[in-house]
Structure 1
Amino acid sequence: MFRLSALYRYPLKSCMGESLQQARFDELGMSGDRRWMLVDEASGRFYSQRALPQMSQLSVLWKGDGVTLSAPGLGSLDVPVPVDEEANLRGITIWRDTFRVPDAGEEAARWVSALVGKPTRLVHVPKERARWLPSGYGASEDRVGFADGFPLLLIGQSSLDDLSGKVGRPLEMLRFRPNLVVTGAEAFAEDGWKRIRIGGVELRVLKPCSRCIMTTIDPATGERSADREPMTTLKTYREREGDIWFGQNLVSDGPGVVEVGMEVEVLE
């Protein structure tokens, strides 16, 4: 029997992961997941750990009506969800998508600029302004917030165990930033799944997740691995047509609640 062994939420794109026992799903996937983001003040281009490893030390607690930011040396700051009105919108770019979303204001901007070390803005995406999925994937109504391309990521615990064995040391699951972790399946069994059900929530598996340099950042310290692991090892057996695959991207069908310990049923 397969079971859901862990749940993680990342309220702000590229921030610390938040371990959950229960999670609610809405139109954009896991409620509160990657609805906030840091952008360059001048260009509106998004920031992530790829360029700013110190973002791994940014803790963001989601509270529904806002978030609490905290980081070493900066204390904490409560930031309410900004008002979605024309005067408050900022043009931003994430990968190939350029659109306008509410800005969280001057106090938040000063705080995140101190973290990043240059003028930075904090922005929020309401569901009405969410992006469509990449062309060719999902259904016409599927949307995503500030995640790279898809709302959810699933990884099998056995897949990580297999990789850790090949690397020769235990690897932290949070290096790979999944939302859902499943136990009981063989390594990389998730590669063959198309639809699953957890509790009353059905999810569609859309495509493998292509991995990048972020997996080499230690989630506890923000430091990059000198040996470029686990990418060095993944490249030896998980590379397909120039991409390195680890984990599966999903979307959820309809609202619902899932809890750690629930059975994961493979429907297709």
Structure 2
Amino acid sequence: MQVTSINIYPIKSLPAISLTESLVEICGLQYDRQWMLVDRQGKFLSQRTHPEMSLFQVKLKKDHLLLSHKLHKNTMFRLPFSVNSGKKKKVTIWEDQIEASLAGQNADEWFSDLLHIDCQLVKMGMNEKRWVKEKYQVNREHVSFADSMPFLIIGQSSLDDLNSRLDKPVPMNRFRPNIVFSGGPAFAEDGWDRFEIGGVTFKNTKPCARCIMTTIDQDSGKKGKEPLYTLSQYRKSGKKILFGQNLIALNSGKIAIGDSIYL
């Protein structure tokens, strides 16, 4: 088995950036979900309620992100990694509340204009820690603005199995994994505990419960009923529909496409 895809999502719920290699940090892949859009009350925004967030485009440059929009091709925004208004805001992401740094008025206005909602862009503070739930911790791991865990892995065979059951296949981007691998049977990742990629040891924490975001076409922003309906027929446990595995990393390092996975 080997890594075939590495993805980061610098701004939560916006599209991925695919990489050939990435640094693994305790809180996630470098730059992954370091920024997040919130409403004026500080509650995070996502494609669950704003599917049009899928229409943004994000490119990784040496010292900044270059942002654009599929429907407004002449509108671009440069977001320096160092951007910081000097102001903080208490933000809410699921059950967690943390202090985040406000990116500034220019970023707020750019996103607000394109999303047609009053929103703000925030960044995870350098000294801020959003802890992984204690029962999943090994070495006091923390997470950025990802839903609950720093990493998500899915096997290509698992997607192939799902697509064999669908009238219209769906791409892997519906599931927003950080790591995709080839080889092994469908859902092989469900049975793993600890494994190694490129000298980094990862540990499975829990299966990833899927939501309505999987039904949003990432090219058009339109919702359907699949693949969630079909997944519910054979990947349901209790009230949760499961696809992919959440991970923590037990050490830092670098992973790259082509790296083998050692169980």
Q: TM-score, normalised by structure 1?
A: 0.93
CA distance in 2, matches of 1:35, 1:64: 16
Moved more, 132-141 or 31-40: 132-141
- 2:234 aligns with 237
Pick the aligned partner of 1:51 from 35, 49, 52: 49
- 2:247 aligns with 250
CA distance in 1, matches of 2:130, 2:144: 6
Q: Secondary structure at the match of 1:132?
A: coil
Q: Secondary structure at the match of 1:154?
A: strand
Instruction: Could you tell me which runs of 5 or more consecutive residues in structure 2 were left unpaired when the two chains were aligned.
Output: none
Instruction: Indicate conservation of the 8 Å contact 1:53/1:217, yes or no.
Output: yes
Q: Secondary structure at the match of 2:98?
A: strand
- 1:68 aligns with 66
- 1:29 aligns with 28
Instruction: Indicate conservation of the 8 Å contact 2:139/2:250, yes or no.
Output: no
Instruction: Indicate conservation of the 8 Å contact 2:108/2:119, yes or no.
Output: yes
Counterpart amino acid of residue 239 in structure 1? K
Equivalent residue runs for 1:73-222 within 5 Å: 73=72, 75-81=75-81, 87-222=86-221
CA distance in 2, matches of 1:127, 1:25: 17
Deviation at 1:208, TM superposition (A): 0.2
Instruction: Indicate conservation of the 8 Å contact 2:26/2:150, yes or no.
Output: no
Deviation at 1:170, TM superposition (A): 1.8
Moved more, 172-181 or 120-129: 120-129
Instruction: Indicate conservation of the 8 Å contact 1:82/1:124, yes or no.
Output: no
RMSD: 1.5
Instruction: Indicate conservation of the 8 Å contact 1:65/1:81, yes or no.
Output: yes
Deviation at 1:20, TM superposition (A): 1.0
CA distance in 1, matches of 2:60, 2:142: 20
Instruction: Indicate conservation of the 8 Å contact 2:90/2:100, yes or no.
Output: yes
What is the count of residue pairs matched by the alignment? 261
CA distance in 2, matches of 1:238, 1:39: 32
CA distance in 2, matches of 1:171, 1:58: 20
Instruction: Indicate conservation of the 8 Å contact 1:84/1:101, yes or no.
Output: no
CA distance in 2, matches of 1:250, 1:8: 14
CA distance in 1, matches of 2:11, 2:61: 12
Moved more, 255-264 or 175-184: 255-264
Instruction: Indicate conservation of the 8 Å contact 2:138/2:250, yes or no.
Output: no
Q: Secondary structure at the match of 1:215?
A: helix
Q: Deviations over 1:182-238 (max 9, x none)?
A: 11010001100011111111111110000000000011111112xx01111100110
Q: Percent identity?
A: 41
Counterpart amino acid of residue 51 in structure 1? T
Pick the aligned partner of 2:261 from 250, 259, 264: 264
Instruction: Indicate conservation of the 8 Å contact 2:2/2:258, yes or no.
Output: yes
Q: Deviations over 1:3-38 (max 9, x none)?
A: 111111111000111111111112312000000000
CA distance in 2, matches of 1:118, 1:190: 39
Instruction: Could you tell me which runs of 5 or more consecutive residues in structure 1 were left unpaired when the two chains were aligned.
Output: none
Moved more, 140-149 or 173-182: 140-149
Deviation at 1:64, TM superposition (A): 6.2
Instruction: Indicate conservation of the 8 Å contact 1:32/1:64, yes or no.
Output: no
